Amino acid sequence: MKKELWLFLLLAVISVITGMINPAFLSLVNLLNLANLIGLFGVFALGEGLVIITGGIDLSLGSMFALLGVVFVDLLTTYQVPWPLALLAVLLGGLVLGAIQGVLITRLKMQPFIVTLCGLLIYRGAARYYTTDSTRGFGYGDEAATLSNIASGNLGGIPNTFILLIILALILGVLLHRSVYGRWLYAVGKNEEAARFSGINTDFVIATAYIISGGLAGISTVMFVFYTNSVSPSSFGNFYELYAIAAAVLGGCSLRGGEGSILGIVLGTALLQVLQNLVNILGIPNSLNFAVMGSVILVGVLADRQLQSRRQRKMALASLARTPPKTTVLQGEPSAPRG
Amino acid sequence: MAEMLLELAGIGKTYPGVRALDDVSLSVRRGEVLGLIGENGAGKSTLMRVLGGVIAPTQGVIRVGDVEYGQLTVREATRAGIAFVHQELNLFENLDVAANVFIGREKLMGGRLKLVNNAQMRASVAPLLARLGADFSPDTLVDNLSIAQRQMVEIAKALSIDARVIIMDEPTSSLTISETERLLEVIADLKAHGISVIYISHRLGEIMTCADRVVVLRDGRTVGELARNELSHAAMIRLMIGRDLKALYTPPKRASEAGGCDIANLVTTAFPDRQISLSVRRGEILGLAGLVGAGRTSLARAAFGIDTILGGEIRIDNARVNVASPRDAIRHGIYLVPEDRKKSGLVLELPIRENMTLANLSNYARMWLIDGAAERKVAKEQAKSLSIKAPSVDIEAVTLSGGNQQKVVLGKWLSMKPRVMFFDEPTRGIDVGAKSEIYALMRDLADRGVAIVMISSDMEEVIGVSDRVAVMHEGGISGVLERDQFSEYNVLRLAIGQTLETTEGAAT
C-alpha cells in the first residue's frame, strides 16, 4: 500500500505543479479528456499487470488491437453482423489468442518474451494481409451507433471508458487481492517451485493470466476503434503494449514477478497519461514525449530499487541482532547433560 | 619418494555453534594417492575447501613445500599446484573443451585488442587430452560430453596449470563401471608422473584399489590412518563409525497399525533401471538412510508427484492411489517437507500466514474469496502449537530463522489431514533446540496415526529417531533394519552396497 501512496502523492504533486504553471491543465475539458485516455489505456494495462505478476510479459497487445480491430470493423460494415455478436466475437478472439499464448508458454515451456513477440509480429502481419494494408473505417451508415454511443459516450459527463476501467479494476482488484486465484498468482510469481510443491496447478494459474490479458485486449480493441473511428492496420495500437508495461512497472509491478497491485497499475496508467498531457500543455516539444516518459519511469524504478535495498539492509541488520549467539546446551533437548 | 608436498597441521574450523574441523592433520607425499573417507558430514568437504583456499581455517598451519600459510587464498592454492575435480562439475557447457581448460586465463592475441586465441588454446590442450587417452577433441562442446569425459576435461585443466596435487571429490559417483576403471587407470598414470591425488570416496572398493594410504575423518577429526597393507573394508568402516549416539529415541505410544503406505516396484526417473519396494506403517517413523545421491530424494519426489513415476504403484491402506502431480498426492494425504525449504518449501516473500494456507487455500475461501479471519485464526493456532518464534503471522517468512522456517513448512501440512509424510532432511541447518522440537513433532504425528518417512544423512538422527531404517544404495533399497539391528556399522554397510553380516532382516 505504501508504494501506491507514494505514487498517488507523485501524481498529485505533478498535477498541482502543472496546474499552477498552466491552469488549463485543471480545466474540466482537459480533465475529462485525461480521464477518457486513462480509461482507454488502463483496461489492457490491468491484464498486462497480471501477466507481469506471473513473471511473464505480453508484447502482443498492440498487434492484437490491430487484428481484432480490423475484424471487428469488417464484421460490422462488410458483413453487417449485429453489434452484440461482433462484440462477442472480438472478446472471444482476444480470449482465444491469450489462451494460445498461455498454452505455448506453460505446456510447451516457451519463454513468454518469445511467444508474445511472435504474437506481435504475426497478428500485425495478419491484420495487414487481411485488409491489404488499407484502412478500415465506418461508412456513413450507423452500423453500430448504439455501441459507439456506449463506448465513446459519457455518464453525467464522466467518460464511459473511465467508468469501465473503474469497474474492471474493482473486479480484478477483488480477484487479485481477495481471491484464491490472486493468492496463487502471487505465489507462482514469487516462487513457482514452492507453489508447485504446495499442490498449486501453476500452468493453469499462468495460462489464465494470459487469457485474462487477451480478453481485456478484446475490450480495449472495441474502445479504441470507436475512439479513432477507423483502423489502419499498420499503425493501430503500435507500441501500446509498451504503454501497458510502463504503467505496470511504474505502478509497482516487478518484471521478476510476484509484485504489484491493481491500484498501482491504475495509478501508473494515470501518471503516464498526465505526463503526456503535461508535455502538450506546458508547450514542451511534442517530440520529447517519449523521452519524458522514459526518464520518469527510469527515475521512479531507480528510487524504488534504492528504497528496497535500504529496507533489506535494515532487515538483515535487525535479524542479525536478533539471532542470539548459539550455545551448546539448549532447553528442550531430551538429554541435555547439564541444566 | 618421501618428499612431502603438502602438509596440514592442527587445522580447525569453527562456525558459530558448530566445530566443523578440529585439529585435523594430514600430509601428502609426492606421487602418492591419499584416500580420504568418512561419513556424510564428517568434514571432508570442509577440509578440502580449506585446502582450495575457499574458506579460511580458524587455527592450524598449511605447509606447501617449504612455505607455511595460516590460510590459503584461491590464487595461492592454484599457484601451489592444488587443483580440484569437483563433485558437481564446474564446467561451462556452452563453451568448448579448450575454452574450459583455459577459462579465466585465456591465451590472447592481437595486442591491445585482446582477442582470444582459440587456435593456440586448442593446440596446447590436445597433448593433454592425448595423455589422458581422451576420445574427444579440444574443440568439442562440453555440452556434448558424458560425465566421465567432463571429468577428463577437469583433469586436463588441472594438468594445464601444472597441478601437483589433484583433489577428486566423489569422482565416480555418476560413472559406469568401465568409466570408473578408466579413471583409476588415469590416476595410476598421474601417480607415475609424480602427481599426487587426494581421493575422496564412499566406495571403499575403489579406495582399496588406488590408495597408498587412507585417512579417516569423523566428526571433524582425524580418527585414524591406514597404510596400504592395513587396508580392508572392515578396518575402514570401524574407523568411520564409533560415535556414541545419544539416546534421542522416543518409542511410539502405541503399536504401529496395519494400514500405511506401500510402495511396490516403483521406478523413478532418476534410476530408471531400479525398482523400489518399501512399506511404512501408520504410527511408524521409517528412517531412510543412504549416501548422498542414493536416490532417496527422487523416491520422495516421485511419491509426491513432482517427478513422473515410470512404473510400479503406491498403495495407501491397501488402496491404490494414482499420483501424477503434487495436487493428487495432497488429495490422498501424501505430503512432502522438501529438502530445500527456501526453494521448494516456502514462498519466502509471503507472510507466514499465507505460506501456511497455500496448500489448501480453498478451505479458507467462500466463493473463491479468501476469508482472511479464518486464515489468520488457523495460522495463529499453528504458530502457537508449533511455538514459532515470530512477532506476528503477518511477517514475511524470509525474516525467520531456519528452524522457524521449517516449522512454517510443517504448519502448512499439519493444518490439513496427513496420512503419509515424507520429511527430506528435516533438520538440516537447524540448531539443536529446534531439532529436538521437530523430532517431537514427528513422533506426535506418528502417534496420531500418520506414516512417516524421514530421509536423513545425519546418522545420529537416523538411529536416534527412527522405528525402522531402510537404507538406499544406488537407487535401490539395499536393506531394512529393525531397531535391534540399528548400528552405524550396519547402516553404513548397507549404504555402500554391502549386505549385512547377519542375514536376518536384510531385504533385497
Q: Any CB–CB contact under 8 A between A336 and chain B?
A: no
Same domain, B56 and B197: yes
Q: Using alpha carbons, list the distances in angstroms from residue B365 to A168, B89, B357, B369, B396.
A: 22, 47, 11, 5, 22
- DSSP of A54-123: TT-----HHHHHHHHHHHHHHHHHTS---HHHHHHHHHHHHHHHHHHHHHHHHTS---HHHHHHHHHHHH
H or E element in which residue B4 lies: strand B4-15
Q: Is residue B237 part of a domain?
A: yes
Q: Any CB–CB contact under 8 A between B114 and chain A?
A: no
Q: Tens of pLDDT along A283-316?
A: 888 888 889 888 988 888 888 788 878 877 876 6
Distance from CA of B23 to the nearest CA of A (A): 19
Q: Tens of pLDDT along A53-106?
A: 999 999 999 999 999 999 999 999 999 899 999 999 999 999 999 999 999 999
How many Å is the maximal CA-CA distance in chain B?
A: 80
Same domain, B435 and B482: yes
Q: Any CB–CB contact under 8 A between A315 and chain B?
A: yes
Strands B285-290 and B451-455: parallel
- Give the Cα-Cα-Cα angle A289, A295, A299 (nearest 5 degrees): 150
Same domain, B91 and B183: yes
Q: Is residue B52 part of a domain?
A: yes
Q: Is residue B356 part of a domain?
A: yes
**DSSP E strand boundaries for B429-485:** 451-455, 468-473, 476-482
Closest chain B residue by Cα to residue A186 = B350
Most confident listed range (A168-177, B144-153, B339-348, B493-502): A168-177
* pLDDT, position A160: 95
**Mean per-residue pLDDT over chain B, rounded:** 88
Instruction: Find the range with the poorest average confidence among A216-230, B125-139, B252-266, B480-494.
Output: B252-266
* pLDDT, position B169: 87
Same domain, B265 and B132: no
Q: Do B350 and A190 touch (CB under 8 A)?
A: yes
Decide which of B215, B241, B267 is a domain's last residue: B241
Q: B118: which residues sit within 8 A by CB, 6+ positions away?
A: B98, B99, B139
Q: Any CB–CB contact under 8 A between A260 and chain B?
A: no
Q: Is residue B376 part of a domain?
A: yes
Q: Any CB–CB contact under 8 A between A338 and chain B?
A: no
How many CB atoms are closer than 10 A to CB B425? 20
Same domain, B436 and B383: no
Decide which of B190, B214, B241 is a domain's last residue: B241
Same domain, B80 and B148: yes
Q: Do B365 and A326 touch (CB under 8 A)?
A: no
Q: Is residue B277 part of a domain?
A: yes
Q: Tens of pLDDT along B444-468?
A: 999 999 999 999 988 888 988 999 9
* pLDDT, position A141: 62
Q: Any CB–CB contact under 8 A between B369 and chain A?
A: yes
Q: A49: which residues sit within 8 A by CB, 6+ positions away?
A: A244, A247, A248, A251, A253, A260, A262, A264, A265
Decide which of B395, B416, B437 is a domain's last residue: B416
Q: Are the C-beta atoms of B3 and B30 separated by less than 8 Å? A: yes
% pLDDT > 70, chain B: 95
In chain A, residues with a C-beta closer than 8 Å to the C-beta of B345 are 194, 197
Grid cell digits, residue A219: 475490450
Q: Which of residues 293-312 of B touch A (CB under 8 A)?
A: 304, 306
In chain A, residues with a C-beta closer than 8 Å to the C-beta of B336 are 197
Q: Any CB–CB contact under 8 A between B77 and chain A?
A: no
Q: What is the CATH number of the domain that holds B129?
A: 3.40.50.300
Complex ipTM > 0.85 = no
The number of angstroms, rounded, from the C-alpha of B481 to the middle of its chain's C-alpha atoms is: 22
Q: Are the C-beta atoms of A119 and A97 separated by less than 8 Å? A: yes
Same domain, B160 and B92: yes
Same domain, B363 and B227: no
Q: Is residue B252 part of a domain?
A: no
Same domain, B310 and B353: no
The CA distance from A202 to A184, in Å, is: 8
pLDDT for A339 beyond 50: no
Residue B346 burial (C-beta neighbours within 10 Å; 0-12, 13-18, 19+): buried
Q: Are the C-beta atoms of B240 and B218 separated by less than 8 Å? A: yes
Domain count, chain B: 3
Same domain, B445 and B480: yes
Strands A136-137 and A230-231: antiparallel
Same domain, B320 and B212: no
How many CB atoms are closer than 10 A to CB B160? 18
Q: Do B368 and A181 touch (CB under 8 A)?
A: yes
Distance from CA of A319 to the nearest CA of B (A): 7
In chain B, residues with a C-beta closer than 8 Å to the C-beta of A198 are 326, 358-359, 412
Distance from CA of B364 to the nearest CA of A (A): 9
Q: Is residue B507 part of a domain?
A: no
Q: Do B329 and A179 touch (CB under 8 A)?
A: no
Same domain, B406 and B467: no
| Residue (of B114, B120, B127, B130) closest to B99 by Cα position | B120
Q: Which residue range is the domain that position B204 belongs to?
A: 4-241
pLDDT for B505 beyond 50: no
Closest chain B residue by Cα to residue A326 = B17
Q: Is residue B506 part of a domain?
A: no
Distance from CA of A111 to the nearest CA of B (A): 19
Residue B391 burial (C-beta neighbours within 10 Å; 0-12, 13-18, 19+): exposed
Closest chain A residue by Cα to residue B331 = A199
Instruction: Find the range with the poorest average confidence among A23-37, A318-332, B267-281.
Output: A318-332
Closest chain B residue by Cα to residue A257 = B349
